[in-house]
Amino acid sequence: MSRIGKKPVELPSGVSATVSGQTVEVKGPKGTRSFTATDDVTISVDDNVISIAPRGSSKRARQQWGMSRTMVGNLVTGVSTGFKKELEINGVGYRAQMQGNTLKLSLGLSHDVNFEVPEGVTVTAPKQTEIVVEGIDQQLVGQVAANIREWRKPEPYKGKGIKYKDEYIFRKEGKKK
């Protein structure tokens, strides 16, 4: 039995869901998202609750049960509150600023990095050393944050680079004389 799949997804106020076949469409104050489940699960909407049940007891049906419930839960969270990733920049001369739809990063390279922000995600730089990535699609928000971090990952000796706000950088001791 899937512990995650057994829990129904509750819809907060202002969020509505419709099911047509295997597709769930969720509308909320931040936008509209949809998810198409496999034929191994059954999706139903009652009052303000979306419930997912497996069709049969095969291994694949049980796997899809928990995964489908999590995907629907992420849709509801995305359209109601949204997702957010915060990045910090550490290092002398390292900074970020927004110019229109482009994030301009100065990371000690021979040139500034111009990162084009994709559709469906908003990137802001409240300070020169902070970047905030927000959106309604959890996968896209995480991928954009990872792509920005990829330009200069934090190094273990001084901690210079771009890191997630809640990330711990394991520090190493330098050479000894």
Q: Identify whether the C-beta of residue 81 lies closer than 8 Å to the C-beta of residue 141.
A: no
Q: What is the pLDDT of residue 19?
A: 92
Least confident of 48-52, 101-105, 163-167, 173-177: 173-177
> What pLDDT score does 1 carry?
66
Q: Judge whether residue 176 has pLDDT over 90.
A: no
Token representation of residue 66: 């928990």
Question: Residue 140: enclosing H or E segment and its boundaries?
Answer: helix 138-150
Cα–Cα distance measured from residue 101 to residue 124, given in angstroms and rounded to the nearest whole number? 10
Instruction: Give the strands of the sheet with 83-90, arranged side by side.
Output: 121-124, 130-135, 83-90, 161-164
pLDDT band of residue 105 (cuts 50, 70, 90) is very high
Task: Select from 84, 81, 80 the least CA-distant residue to 121.
Answer: 84
Mean per-residue pLDDT, 20-27: 92
How far apart, in whole angstroms, are the C-alpha atoms of residue 6 and residue 75?
Answer: 17
In the chain, the percentage of residues whose pLDDT exceeds 90 is 84
Model confidence at 165, in pLDDT bands (50, 70, 90)?
very high
pLDDT in tens, 38-78: 999 999 998 889 999 999 889 999 889 999 999 999 999 99
Q: What is the residue type of 79?
A: V
- Ramachandran assignment for 23, one of left (phi > 0), alpha (psi -120 to 50 degrees), beta (any other): beta
pLDDT tens-digit series, residues 78-99: 999 999 999 999 999 999 999 9
- State the pTM of this model: 0.87
Segment 130-140 mean pLDDT: 95
Domains and CATH numbers, the chain: 3-80 (3.90.930.12), 83-164 (3.90.930.12)
- What H or E segment, with its residue span, contains residue 94? none
